[in-house]
Amino acid sequence: MLWSFIAVFFSGWLYVDSSYRGPVWQRWVFKPVTVLLLLLLALQAPLSEVTGYLIIAGLLASLLADTLTLLPRQRLLYAYGAYFLSHLLYSLYFISHTNIDYDWQLPLVLIIIGVVAISIIWAPLAELRMPVLALVGITLLMVWLAGSNYFSRHSDASFSEFLGAGLLLLGNLVWLISKYRHRFPADSAIVAACYFGGHFLIVRSLYI
């Protein structure tokens, strides 16, 4: 099992490094390789409940979305749909073992983050406004469910899920702002690190 974690880390590091300074083809190679290794890692996890397979399904949906982003622009709508499905599956997994916390602080913070992010990229989105709004919405919901799970249980697994969901949210927001509003230094590396770290921490929670 240790070798599986090492392989995932090594591939993930190459993916992040290639996003920062390597040629584009290396990023295209190491991103799917990293996700496939994460899938293998998740399949080896000691799943105590059937709901654990929702994480595996979420990884598959994310891999499909990654493939669609490499295709022409008209396929981008389907990529957003696949990312939406991935985060929806993660959300279903979180809610399956979550005691919903109705405390208002976390939802309020997430709503503010979502409103600010959408307001920044709203104008350039054009016909993609509704798909992007749906993607941001389901990602915020995913973070809220993971956060409710952590604040109600305070376990290592729930913390890993919460941190992983938060990284996926951060990666998505940086990606969308960079894509539709303004590019900035190291944006691709930040997105890559958040993407890899987020999925890895969620898969890691299966082993805790």
Tens place of pLDDT per residue across the chain (208 aa): 556 777 778 777 887 877 777 777 777 777 788 888 888 888 888 776 777 889 999 999 998 888 887 776 667 888 899 999 999 999 999 988 776 666 778 889 999 999 999 999 998 888 888 999 999 999 999 999 999 888 888 889 889 999 999 999 999 999 999 888 887 777 888 888 899 899 999 998 888 7
CATH number at residue 114: 1.20.1070
Contact partners, residue 78, CB within 8 Å, separation at least 6? 68
Q: What is the extent of the structural domain holding 197?
A: 2-207
Domain tally for the chain?
1
| Widest CA span in the chain | 47
Task: Measure CA 205 to chain center.
Answer: 14
Alpha carbons 184 and 126: distance in angstroms, whole number: 22
Q: pTM for the complete prediction?
A: 0.90
Task: List, in order, residues 6 or more apart from 161 with CB less than 8 Å away.
Answer: 94, 146, 149, 150, 201, 202, 205
